[in-house]
Amino acid sequence: MENKKSLATGVLHGTHDKFSFGALTPPIVQSATFVFDSSEQGAARFAGAEDGYIYTRIGNPTTTVLENKMAYLENGEACLAFGSGMGAISSTLVSLLSNGDHLVADTTLYGCTLTLMTEHLTRFGIEVQFVDMTDLNQLKAALKDNTKVVYFETPANPTMKVIDIEAVSKIAHEAVPGCKVVVDNTFCSPMITRPLEHGADVVVHSATKYLNGHGDVIAGICVSDADTIAKIKVAGLKDITGSVLDPFAAYLILRGLKTLKLRMDAHSKNAMEVAKFLEGSEFVKAVYYPGLECHSGHEVAKKQMSQFSGVLSFEVKSYEHAVKIMNNVKLCTLAVSLGDCETLIQHPASMTHSGYTKEELEAAGFSETLIRLSVGLEDPADIIADLDAAMRL
């Protein structure tokens, strides 16, 4: 494996791509299907006896460039791209789990991931159990012989709870050999954390967020060892969800990736400044940002994150004030999603996490006074001035 320390260089040159016509950027192969030279060749491709493209749901040259780049960046053997983050997550879980299996997940998850587990996987006879994975004893107590997947986000959406990837992976693998530890790395991107290097088995992403970074694509990524990716490709992607990425979207993500290192540096620097401002504000009850020393996960974050990324959340004193702030901001944009160049502000309890029940909100550790902010690439002084003015109005 090449030295992964210089990912700023690796993201541009690490996969040594060469394109037809000597093109610098990957050609967009906007074709649904691929022509066979003969019937025998078509049969050989379907049988796996000959390499080559067949049909874009099963593989596409532009998407392959993205998949190779993401496998490189996450330090995994192979990667699959999907039509959304939820496509990546659902395809992965339905490939790794069957009727009668047990899934252990953290209590704090993106809203649709939670409802996928509570309302849908359970319909197929999969037993789902939630624990607070910052308490490793809860994890140990939950693991059983039929636990096939341990799943978490770090930092988790929206409370920025940090989970120790190495500790969770070690406990899960010792207790249940063969169990897959799946980490949603959306909030970090591989520029900040590479979960496979800390012992996880599978990494998933909403590539809609930092990987693309420009708010114009919905996409997902899954990276793992070659056998696991082959299984997810044949079952989850090809036959079950069909959640394939469009080649033009793959091209846009490849373009976004070129500046991933620069963007993650700037998002992290700006978020730290905004977090410090919020920490000192008389209107704010609590700030959740792993870069702050007061954050409960700060020490674990320092161990597994090279910087602290661009998302933070904060509690204000009342729901009414939270609504007022979100209605009064002028620069920060009231919209869900994150990881874009623009600063986005939103209200998890009524928006991204509105699928949570009251009990699930309590277990996840946030309420209707929580605001989530994805700090963008504007001048941080302008973001701070906008928030300050909105809080005072």
Ligand X SMILES: Cc1ncc(COP(=O)(O)O)c(C=O)c1O
What residues act catalytically? 57, 110, 184, 209
Q: How far is the CB of 151 from ligand X (least distance, A)?
A: 11
Note whether 10 binds ligand X by CB under 6 A. no
Q: How far is the CB of 344 from ligand X (least distance, A)?
A: 11
Among 91, 157, 307, 346, binds ligand X (CB under 6 A): 157
Pairing assessment for the beta strands 102-106 and 127-131 based on DSSP bridges: parallel
Residue placing its CB nearer to ligand X in the complex, 128 or 391: 128
Residues 93-132, one symbol each (x = binds ligand X by CB under 6 A, - = not), give: -----------------x--x-------------------
Q: How far is the CB of 232 from ligand X (least distance, A)?
A: 16
Question: Per the structure block, which two tokens stand in for 60?
Answer: 């596409």
Contact 242, 32 (CB under 8 A): no
Residue placing its CB nearer to ligand X in the complex, 45 or 347: 347
Residues 197-216, one symbol each (x = binds ligand X by CB under 6 A, - = not), give: ---------x-x--------
Contact 295, 160 (CB under 8 A): yes
Stretch in the footprint of ligand X (CB under 6 A) among 16-24, 69-77, 83-91, 283-291 = 83-91
CA atoms within 13 A on the CB side of 19: 12
The C-alpha atoms of residue 62 and residue 70 are separated, in whole angstroms, by 13
Q: How far is the CB of 145 from ligand X (least distance, A)?
A: 29
Q: How far is the CB of 43 from ligand X (least distance, A)?
A: 36
Residues 220-259, one symbol each (x = binds ligand X by CB under 6 A, - = not), give: x---------------------------------------
Among 60, 63, 84, 268, binds ligand X (CB under 6 A): 84
With residues binned 3-state (H G I as helix, E B as strand, rest as coil), the percentages for the chain, rounded to 5, are 40, 15, 45
> CB atoms < 10 A from the CB of 147, how many?
20
Output the CA torsion sign for 355, 361, 365, 366: positive
The C-alpha atoms of residue 147 and residue 349 are separated, in whole angstroms, by 30
Q: List, in order, residues 6 or more apart from 346 with CB less than 8 Å away.
A: 326, 334, 335, 336, 352, 371, 372
Q: How far is the CB of 263 from ligand X (least distance, A)?
A: 17
Number of residues in contact with ligand X, rule: CB under 6 A? 13
Residue with the shortest CB distance to ligand X = 85
- Compute and round to an integer the Cα radius of gyration of the chain: 21
H helix runs in the chain, sequence order: 7-13, 39-47, 61-74, 85-96, 111-115, 136-142, 165-175, 226-232, 247-257, 260-279, 298-304, 319-328, 358-364, 380-392
Note whether 184 binds ligand X by CB under 6 A. yes
Strand partners, 82: 220
Residue placing its CB nearer to ligand X in the complex, 143 or 201: 201
Q: Which residues bind ligand X (CB under 6 A)?
A: 84-86, 110, 113, 153, 157, 184, 186, 206, 208, 218, 220
